[in-house]
Each structure stands twice: as structure tokens, then as C-alpha cells.
Amino acid sequence: MPVTPVRHQAPQHNLLRYGTEAIAIAQRILTELLRRRRSLIFWAIFPAIILWLNGSILAERAQIPTAEAYANAAPATLVGAALFFSCLGGSVATVVAEREQQTLKRLFMSPLSGLSYFLGIFLAHGAIALGQSLVVIFLALVVGAEFQGNPFLAALIIALSVMAYVGVGFILGTQFARRTEDVNALVAAFGVPLLILGGAFLPTRFFPKSLLDIAQYNPVFHMNEALMAVVSEGEGLDSMGNHFTFLALFAIGVTVAGWLSYRRMVNVERRL
Amino acid sequence: MTHPAMTAPMLKIEGLTKGYGGPPRKRFWQRTSETRATEKSASATKNHLALDHLTLNLQPGEIYGLLGPNGAGKTTTINLICNLLAPDSGSITIAGQSVSEATKLLVGIVPQQNLLYNSLTCAENLNFFAQLYGVPKREQRDRITRCLAQVNLSDRAHSPAESLSGGMKRRLSIALALVHQPKLVILDEPTTGLDIEARYELWELIRQLKAQGVTVMLTTHLLEEAERLCDRIGIIRQGQLLREGTLEQLREVVQAEAIAQIDSPDEPAVLARAQALGWDIRRYGSGIALWLPEALDLRALLAQLDGIAIEAAALHPVRLEHIYLEITRKSYES
């Protein structure tokens, strides 16, 4: 074999390669989820129960028809509760489990790029979010709920919510959680107050002004309000633009921060 | 057969140095141009040198054993070959290419632990790694079938990894390293924790890899394993290559035909007699080891030690463990 002096080569990555790798990562995460059937069932049951509880409480307390109550409860159930636990809790758990089992280091011994891994986790949780959205929409439609507004705008809000949750999940999973046991405590400590303050369980219109003032800084509040405005009230960007802008900026911000935290973690993990 | 000098090495490591530690970095608000300059110059003098100008060459198709005590720098060497770390100085080339993300395609790595996705089946684990290594989709199924057959796991293709025995998990780990048909396979303590049958199976698999022309780098603490499998052996300690060569070449370090292991309540008498006979003396564990310059049978040995109380005596041929202990002993002395 002749020696051919080769310059330090850049990895032969292109868009197609990133795409293939990200799909492989997402496929693996989803296959693992499918294997753990119980987790998959819980991810489906959770939004169904929250939708039923939220819809029933709203119908009774606000004295509105069940269909309308479910139409109002669906956005908060989806972006406020379901996606929070699946996308934020799920991404924290994925990152922590990979670190704990050291499979992350094994992955980086392969030519897998860090970006593909990051995108793969987004993709997998996007697929879970899609499944949960379908469950919530289907159940709400079954009781006669009617959704209005631009479906593309609604899908964009859901996508930004997934992005925000996975971004935060990366920050928490790479910086604060070292073991699987840390995940629950972390998600509960950060998440539950944010969910309540975001109107996931109790509509924000019942909040006192002092809490509403604080809620303005809570991304969950803006996700709920934006999606509620589109699907329940049929509004467009012009009337809920401030919620949408906050959500978009937050999603982009935490994705960048999540990427930086992840890069830092990868550098540390490589040395172990 | 091509003369070794005519072929370029599959793996060439030259003057590789890697250190860890160094002075703690200041917080960014405490940093000035002065502290930055100090940090820069201090980074050259790390607290701990894991590798110190290590130079190795692995020829295509050979099995090379890298031996050394814990902390000798074996894992750091592997991490550098896998481009997980950047060296402080020196170079690594694989099949003539400088180590980069691209050379990861040439290397198959079997880490110390079985890093598998336990809920995935064997075939799914392989399929996942085939995708990561860019194996063309149309070839993936064939490759997976072949790899499973190669490691004798065809009948467990659809079993979850968590249901496999320790030996099977190890074989699956090896299959994962082979799925992209690498030119160089690195096995980091491959038989640690395996029973003897699983160990023999794995040794056979490693021999098959060699027969297929794959270059194998093996790190192990089992000297018998290195003795049986390796064409050449390198011994490192504190990041430096102490010695390398074939078993025959390394054997020159121990100037003896056989080793006699003696347990005696009267050790001074044994030592005095051995000195009088001009035999070298070593201590391996609790007993005394005598280097016999010529082969003796046990009766002849005991005759030489006549008049000294002997509790136990055994004769051994010179083995890699004696060579290894001698080389590391000399390095400790120096």
C-alpha cells in the first residue's frame, strides 16, 4: 500500500449525510420507544387524561358546551402539558441515558456528526409531538370540538413549542442532570410551576393580575395563548403576534443555547 | 509475500504526546492579557503526561498487542486514533491519511464495555451503526447478515441485545465494529469478564479477522491472550513505549532457558546458592524466581539446591508475563 500524504481532511458531510444520520438517530430513539410499549402507551394516555380533565372542568365551571370546552382545552393540553413532558422530559432523559450508558462516546467514535445527533433528537421528539397532537385532535373531534384558524400557523406554533422544549431539554440534560434519577426532580422543579403559570391546567383568565404579570415571562404561557388564539378563536398573526414573537425568539434562543451546552458536553464526554 | 519494508504501515504513530490537567483556568472576568499568556505557556506543561512521544507502526494484516499497566496510556492512544482527542504533538496516520473524521471510516472500534442499545435487536443495532458509517442502503441487509454470521449470532438476529449472554454481547460489539468493513480494528480488552469458552471463541474470531487481511490492535491485561494471538507486542508505561517486537524478539530480555519458582522457609540460603551458581534472581509475588541459564528438569534443579529446605518448586518456560515483568521492572529502575 503506497503512502499518499493526505492533508487533514474535513469530514465529508453534506446535507444528505446530515439528513441520513439524523433520521438514523430519530429512528433508533423511536424504535426504542416502541420496544418499551408501556412508555408509548403512557405518552398517549397522558394527553388524553389531561384533555378530559381540562375539558370537563372548563365545561362545568365556565358553563359552556362540552365541544367548546374541549376546543378550548386542547391547545393547553397539547403544548402546555403533553409536549412539555414528552419533548422536554424526553430529550433530557435521552441525553442523560446516553451519557450514563456511555453510548454517547460510542456514537462519537463513529463518523456521526454532533449536528446530526442534535437534529436526530429534534426529529424524534417532533415525531412524538405529532403523535400526541393527533391523539388530542382526534379526541377533541370525537366530542364534537371544532377548530378554526390557519392550520399551518397552528402547526408552526406546535413546531416552535417542540423546538423550545427540546432546546431547554438539551440545556437541562447537558448541564444539570447527570443521572437518570436527576431527570424527574429536574423536570418537576423547573416544569410544574411553569406549567401551572402557563395555563396548562387552569386557564390564565382566572389568574390574578400579579400572576399574569409574571406569566408574561413564561414561554409556556405564550405557547398556550398563541395556539389558543389560532385554533379556538380563529385569530391570525396580527392579533396574537406578541405571543408568537416571544415564542419564536425563545425557541431560537434556547435552541442556540442548547446547541452550545451540547457542544460543551460533547467535548467533555470525548475526553472521558 | 511482500517484504514488510515495502509496505506502508496501516497505523503509524509518531512522537505522540498528550497531557492532561495543567493550571486551573481563570474565570473570564479575572482574565487579562497577562494571565492569558501565562495560561498559554503553562498549557505546554500539563500536570500529567498520558503519552510521551509514543511511536508505533502497525503493518497491514498483523495483530499488534499493546500491553501496559492501568494508566499506561492505552485508552488515550485509542481515543487519539479515533479522533476523540487532539494530540499535543506528534501525528497519527491510518492507511496513509492523517487522523480526521474521515479516517473514522477506516477504523472499527470495540470499546472495553459493551456499549449496545439494549432494547434494540442485534440486527437493529447493526443497522443503526451501518447507517452511521454510511453503508449504502442496498448493501445494509447483506452486511448485517454477514456480520451476524461472522460472529455466530445469526440465530439471535431478532433477539434484543439485553437478552444476550456476556459472550454474545461481546461478539455483537465486535460485529458493530465490523459492519463498515474497516481496515483497522481496535479491540480494547476484548475478553475481560468472559468465561473460557467465550474467550476461545473470540480468539478464533480475531484470528479470522487477521486471515481476512484486517489489521488488529489489541489491548489486554491477559498476557496469555497476547502471547497466543499477537504477531508483535508493544509494552508501554507512563505513555512511553518501553519495548516492542515479536515474542521471540522480546524474549531476549529474559536471559534464561526456564524459570524456577521456589517457595522455601530458608530464602537467604536459596538466594546464596543461586548467586553462587550465577543464576539471576527475581521475585514474582511471594516466592523466589530463579532464571535458569540452561534447561533443567525438576530433579536436577533440586539437586542443585541440595541441603536447603524447599516447600514447593515448579519449572516454567519463559513466558510473556516474565518478559513483561522484566521490561516494566527495568523501566521502574531507570
Chain A environment of B8 (Cβ under 8 Å): 1-3
In which element (H, E) is residue A221 found? helix A219-227
pLDDT band at B105; cut points 50, 70, 90 = very high
pLDDT tier for residue A80 given thresholds of 50, 70 and 90: confident
How far is residue B194's CA from residue A158's CA, in Å, rounded to a whole number?
A: 50
Band (B128; pLDDT cuts 50, 70, 90): very high
Looking at the partner chain, which of B79, B124, B129 has a beta carbon nearest the beta carbon of A31? B124
Is pLDDT at B296 greater than 90 in this prediction? no
Residue with cell 444539570: A176
Contact B132 A270 (CB under 8 A): no
pLDDT in tens, A161-206: 999 999 998 898 888 877 777 777 877 887 888 888 888 888 888 8
What are the tens digits of pLDDT across the range B161-206? 999 998 899 999 999 999 999 999 999 998 887 888 888 988 999 9
Kindly list the residues from chain A whose CB atom is less than 8 angstroms away from the CB atom of residue B93: 3
Pick from A10, A20, A103: CB nearest B117: A103
Question: 3-state secondary structure string, B174-211?
Answer: HHHHHCCCCCEEEEECCCCCCCHHHHHHHHHHHHHHHH
**Which one of A1, A21, A107 has the shortest CB-CB distance to B8?**
A1
CB contact under 8 A, B97 and A21: no
| Chain A hits for B98, Cβ within 8 Å | 6-9
Distance CA A215, CA B200 (A): 65
Instruction: Yes or no: say if B295 and B222 are a contact pair by the CB < 8 Å rule.
Output: no
Sign of the Cα pseudo-torsion (A143, A146, A152, A157, in order): negative
Q: How far is CA A186 from the centre of its chain?
A: 16
- A2 contacts on B by Cβ (under 8 Å): 8, 96
* Separation CA B217–CA B187 (nearest Å): 6
Contact B131 A24 (CB under 8 A): yes
Question: So what's the pLDDT on residue B3?
Answer: 46
Q: Which of B59, B84, B214 to mutate to test the interface with A (most CBs of A within 10 A)?
A: B84
CB atoms inside a 10 Å sphere around CB A126: 18
A5 interface with B at CB cutoff 8 Å: yes
- A contact residues 242-271, partner B, Cβ 8 Å cutoff: 270-271
Chain A residues with beta carbon closer than 8 angstroms to that of B86: none
Cα of A140 vs its chain's centroid, Å: 21
ipTM: 0.82
Query: Does A40 contact B at CB distance below 8 Å?
Result: no
pLDDT, mean over chain B: 87
CB atoms within 10 A of CB A199: 24
CB atoms B111 and A106 under 8 Å = yes
pTM exceeding 0.90: no
Residues B31 and B114: their CA atoms lie apart, in Å, by 43
pLDDT in tens, B259-287: 998 988 888 898 999 889 888 888 877 78
Strand-strand pairing, B107-110 and B258-263: unpaired
pLDDT in tens, B2-47: 444 456 889 999 999 998 876 666 666 666 666 666 655 554 556 6
pLDDT at res. B37: 63
Torsion angles phi and psi, residue B21, rounded to 5 = 90, -135
Q: Hey, which residues does B65 pair with through a beta bridge?
A: B218, B233
Q: What does the alpha-carbon distance between residue B158 and residue B145 come to, in Å, rounded to a whole number?
A: 11
Picking from B309, B311, B314, B305, the residue whose alpha carbon sits closest to that of residue B266 is: B309
Q: How far apart are CA B187 and CA B114, in angstroms?
A: 11
Collect all residues of chain B within an 8 Å Cβ-Cβ radius of residue A17.
134
Q: Which residues of A touch B57 (CB under 8 A)?
A: none
Q: Say if the Cβ atoms of A111 and B101 lie within 8 Å.
A: yes
Count of CB atoms situated within 10 Å of the CB of B302: 15
Q: What is the pLDDT of residue B22?
A: 64
Q: Which residues of A touch B113 (CB under 8 A)?
A: 102
User: In this predicted structure, which of A127-136, A144-153, A184-193, B88-97 has the lowest mean pLDDT?
Assistant: A184-193
Mean of pLDDT values over B292-312? 87
- How far apart (Å, rounded) are the C-alpha atoms in residues A108 and A99? 12
Chain A residues with CB under 8 Å of B117 CB are 28, 32, 103
> Is the CB of A158 inside 8 Å of chain B's CB atoms?
no
* Partner B contacted by A4 (CB < 8 A): yes
- A77-110 as b/e: b if 16+ CB within 10 A: bbbbbbbbbbbbbbbbbbbbbbbebebbbbbbbb
Interface test with B, best of A101, A109, A269 (most B CBs within 10 A): A109
> What pLDDT does B24 receive?
60
Which residue from A5, A35, A102 is facing B113, i.e. has the nearest CB?
A: A102
Contacts of B97 in chain A (CB under 8 A): 4, 6, 9
Q: Where are the domains of chain A?
A: 14-271
The pLDDT of B222-239, averaged and rounded, is 92
Residues 6+ apart with CB under 8 A from B102: A9, A10, A11, A12, A111
**Maximum alpha-carbon separation in chain A:** 83
- Measured between CA atoms, the residue of chain A closest to residue B87 is A271
- What tens digit of pLDDT does each residue of A107-117 get? 888 888 888 99
Tell me which chain A residue has its CA closest to the CA of residue B130: A24
Q: Taking 70 as the threshold, does the pLDDT of residue A21 lie above it?
A: yes
A9 touches chain B (CB under 8 A): yes
**B138-166 pLDDT tens trace:** 999 999 999 999 888 999 999 999 999 98
Altogether, the residues listed in chain B come to a count of 334
